Each structure stands twice: as structure tokens, then as C-alpha cells.
Structure 1
């Protein structure tokens, strides 16, 4: 139980900083409500769970290689840039105010969550942060500690998502269509910012590699 609580707090702490998933969840939550924001979170957690298994079976050793990481930053930048462009271009589309029926399907926003989370830049993040945390638990003498730690981290992410979307759902009730539109534009700009950060990391890695 101590291991679970420890890694639940770790998962919550890691999920708190604003990232691409948080931005997409907030945008969809404002435009289409709690369920659609939650769909993005579920899409992200689908990838998170898959990556935990992959790290357990040795993926970390491959992704930690510099010549593997460098192209991942670029592909990640492209993924986030595409989402940012779509967010700005369609800022006034698919907006359902509180009490209105959403025009976007649950599975469509779920796929958005997968697209953000499967970004190769996210894979590098998992190796550098989550991989280290989970490896520590894997090497402890207590049987099954890796699985307990992984469950704790995912639980922390769920708590973060529910808390965030509860705030978003409440805020959405007092927002106009134009306010939500501008929120989508700002979200797109932030996604472009993260895409630029990925390119920056690629350049740094390239300089070090050369």
C-alpha cells in the first residue's frame, strides 16, 4: 500500500505541469464538455499503459539511444504542429455550449488523445522520467512492486484528469461561444510552442551528437 500511495503522488505530480495532453483535454472539455475532455485523457492513458508494458520489456534501452531520440523529436514536433494548426483553423467549429448536444463524437476526441500521447516526444519523456521511476521499483526486492508502482502512477494521472476537467466543466457554464473559440486558438498556439520546444531539443541533441 505504501508503494501504491507513493507512486500515486508521483503520477499526480508529473501530470500537474501543463503539457500537450492537458491543453488538448482543456480545449475539448471547453468545446464539448466533460466527457469529451475525458475521452482525450483516456486516449492518453491508453498510450501510457502501453508504454509502461513496453518499458518493462526493454523499450527504454532502445529509445535512450541518441540516434533514435533525435528523429523522435522531429516527428513529435510535426504531430503537435498538425494539432496546433487544426486547433486554430477550426477554433469556431464543433462548439457546444453548456446544455447543447456535442457535434463531435466521443471516439473522435479519444483518437485526438492517442495522437497527442503517441507523439514521439512523449516517448522520450517517458524514458527520461517515468522510465527512471519505474525502473527503481522494478529493482526492489518486493515482488510485484513494478505493477503496483505503475498502477499508482496511472491512478495519479486519473485524479489529475478528473480534477482538471471538473474545473473546466464548471468554467464552461459561464463562457460564451466567442470565449471558447479564443480558448481553442490559444490552445493551438501552445501546441505550436511545444512543437518548437521539440525542435529546440532536436537541435541540442544534434549538436551534442556531432
Structure 2
């Protein structure tokens, strides 16, 4: 079963590593509030991705491919990312210091969970590449390998999130207040671009109903 764990970790890292709104938010919060603030956002995202992986393992992927479900997910993702982008821009443009005490743990975790749960990119991944990799593991090692694969996926994403939040924490020492403000504004702008993309796709999905 060790090969299944390794495959699951590979799937997790492959999902988590590409630059997207969740990684942007982990870095942004890590720079502003430290390691724990960014890491908890990532942990929330890990929880949502693990649920999606478990649904694929359970054979429920076709339900998530429904246009009636995709439309509200896209629109919810647009709302979440739009809110985070606006908050980030307001913080960057405000006169006070950009660095701040980390928000409550529950809020950071909930932010990451909502971002991942409503992310069309994550959903598409699990419906395509993720589903194929799960099927491959089950075919090679049997149905008992499915829970092991889920554990591997969870471990892989946690490893990536821990490294990314740690890098953001370390970067605080070398980033000036002015540069941090600029990076915060750029990160917020990226979140707003993703929000606009999700909004357009959500409207298209709703129009197709």
C-alpha cells in the first residue's frame, strides 16, 4: 500500500502546487499575519479537497458534473474571492501598517474551506485527472486502496501548504512595508481577476440550465 500513499501524495501536490487563488491567499496571509494565518487557510482548503477526493472514491463524481450544481458553485466562488480581493485592496491602500495580528483561527480555516469548496478548478481536477488517478489506484491495488489514497492526498496537500506558509513566514523578514503593501495589492488584484472569471463562468452555466 506504500505505493498508493505515494501516488496519493503526488496527486495532492499536483493539485495544490499550481498558482491559484488559494495559494495567493496563503502567501498573502502568511506575509501579513505569519505562518499560522496562512497555514490555516491551507488546512481549510485541504479539508474541502479531501472531501472531493472521498466523493470521487465513492463514485459520486457524476453528481458534481451537473450544470445545476456547477452554476451556484461558480457564483459562490466569485462572491468569496471578490470579498477577499476587496478586503485585501482596502488593507493595501489604507494608511496603517500592512502587517497585522492573525485573524481568529476559525475564520482563516473557514476562508480556505470555502475557497476550495467553491473552486471550479478544484472541481474540474477531481472530475478529470483526479478521478482517473483514483481509478488507476483502485484497479492496481483493489478497492481497499481507496481510503489509503485519500490519506495520501491529504498528506500531500498538507506538505505543500506547510512549505508555502513557511516560505511566506520567512519572507516577512526580507520584505519592506512598502513592498509588502504592493504585494498585498497585487495578490488582491489576482483574487479579483479569479472572481471575475468565476462570475462569467457561473453566469454561462446558469444560462445553460
Provide the TM-score with structure 1 as the length reference.
0.83
Q: Quote how far apart the aligned CAs of 1:29 are.
A: 0.3
CA distance in 2, matches of 1:125, 1:87: 27
Residues 102-141 of structure 1, C-alpha deviation per residue, up to 9 Å, x if partnerless? 2522222222212212215243443334233223333445
Q: How does 1:36-115 map to 2 (within 5 A)?
A: 36-91=37-92, 92=94, 95-96=98-99, 102-115=101-114
CA distance in 2, matches of 1:156, 1:105: 25
Alignment correspondent of 1:117? 116
Alignment correspondent of 2:181? 181
Residues 69 and 124 of structure 1 are in contact (CA less than 8 Å); yes or no, is this contact kept in structure 2? no
Q: What is the number of residues matched between the two proteins?
A: 205
Residues 81-102 of structure 1, C-alpha deviation per residue, up to 9 Å, x if partnerless? 12211221233578437xxxx2
Uncovered stretches (5+) of structure 2, i.e. residues with no partner: none
Alignment correspondent of 2:9? 8
CA distance in 2, matches of 1:142, 1:7: 15
Q: Quote how far apart the aligned CAs of 1:47 are.
A: 1.5
CA distance in 2, matches of 1:80, 1:128: 24
Q: Quote how far apart the aligned CAs of 1:4 are.
A: 1.6
Q: Quote how far apart the aligned CAs of 1:202 are.
A: 4.1
Alignment correspondent of 1:133? 133
Question: What RMSD over aligned residues (CA atoms) do the two structures have, in Å?
Answer: 2.6
Residues 32 and 94 of structure 1 are in contact (CA less than 8 Å); yes or no, is this contact kept in structure 2? no
CA distance in 1, matches of 2:142, 2:56: 19
Residues 15 and 125 of structure 2 are in contact (CA less than 8 Å); yes or no, is this contact kept in structure 1? no
